[in-house]
Amino acid sequence: MRQYLVIKNRQSEAQNPIQLGKGEWVECTAESDEQGDWPGWIYCKGIEKEGWVPKQIIEKRESKGLILEDYDATEFDLKEGDIIIAKKILNGWVYGEKKDKAGFVAWAPLNHLKEIETMNAYNEGLRLIDETFGNGKDNVISLATIARDPSEEGRVRPIVRSVDAYYEACTFYVVTHARSNKMLQIAQNPEVSVAGCLEMFTASGLAENLGWVLDPKNADLRGKLRKAFEKWYDHANNEQDENCCILAIHLKHGTLNVNHWEKLYHMDFVNKVTLASPLKA
């Protein structure tokens, strides 16, 4: 079953969506632009109701139309990140239900959606990312944060540095100091981006200070970090300083470029899906 991710917010424009039953007669007064985004619709008027109806369910007889099946023009209010499971795709619209609201069916315009590849593609992307960064490796990645003060022109300023990071389950972990510039920036704005240049992977995410490395709740993670960074860990960190902390970078969205554009995996780590990519060799 095809699934779609909402990529643009939209408020339904249908205040009183037309509802028709099989066998009803309507007056056909206009047709949509066949060269536009939504070809194949006929504007119909019934008794105290009117609206757009797909031409596939109308048997036209001059200016009249016989409705061939039940029809409800209710539209979804769309919010970025919603997932719609399609029951049918017709004339530039998807008819289906939201993943988190099973049982309520409505319409959504395709130009506000992006088709999602199958869950297998997402799992394949996760496997490739894990092979690249996981298995206890010490990864050097670029970490971009937002400066606490804007530029002289009043613009937001990104700040980038390289960090050693351990990867596990869609999260990068860094050992750092709570009073460092990056942590002060993150405290003000947790939105960050990361990149692995050689691995051709970029992503955005949310950063979180997990606290002192010696906090009992961090014991298991601390052991993994010490092992991954064992060549330099004690030289670079003073664990007795309570400002010696663990930074978690929880990935939200990312793109993995395989074999220089052979295939792109556009990963949505929040909804656990992969967006279909047109850029395949």
Q: What is the pLDDT of residues 86-125, one digit of tens each?
A: 999 999 999 999 988 888 999 999 999 988 866 578 898 9
233, part of any domain: yes
Q: Are residues 74 and 210 in the same domain?
A: no
Spell out the alpha helix ranges (H) of the chain.
Answer: 119-133, 181-188, 219-228, 233-236
| Boundary of a domain, candidates 71, 89, 116 | 116
Query: The domain containing residue 83 runs over which residues?
Result: 3-116
* Mean pLDDT score of the chain: 92
What is the pTM for the complete model shown? Answer: 0.64
Which is higher by pLDDT, 95 or 199? 95
Q: Are residues 105 and 231 in the same domain?
A: no
Q: Evaluate whether 260 touches 200 at the Cβ level (below 8 Å).
A: yes
Residue closest to 271 by CA, chosen among 6, 8, 1, 2: 6
| Structure tokens that stand for 185 in this block | 């920036």
244, part of any domain: yes
280, part of any domain: no
Which is higher by pLDDT, 73 or 115? 73
Q: Are residues 106 and 135 in the same domain?
A: no
Which residues 6+ apart lie within 8 Å of 48 measured at CB?
Answer: none
CATH number at residue 216: 2.30.110.10
How far is 40 from 53, CA to CA, in rounded Å? 9
230, part of any domain: yes
Q: Are residues 103 and 188 in the same domain?
A: no
| Boundary of a domain, candidates 116, 150, 182 | 116
Q: Are residues 26 and 90 in the same domain?
A: yes
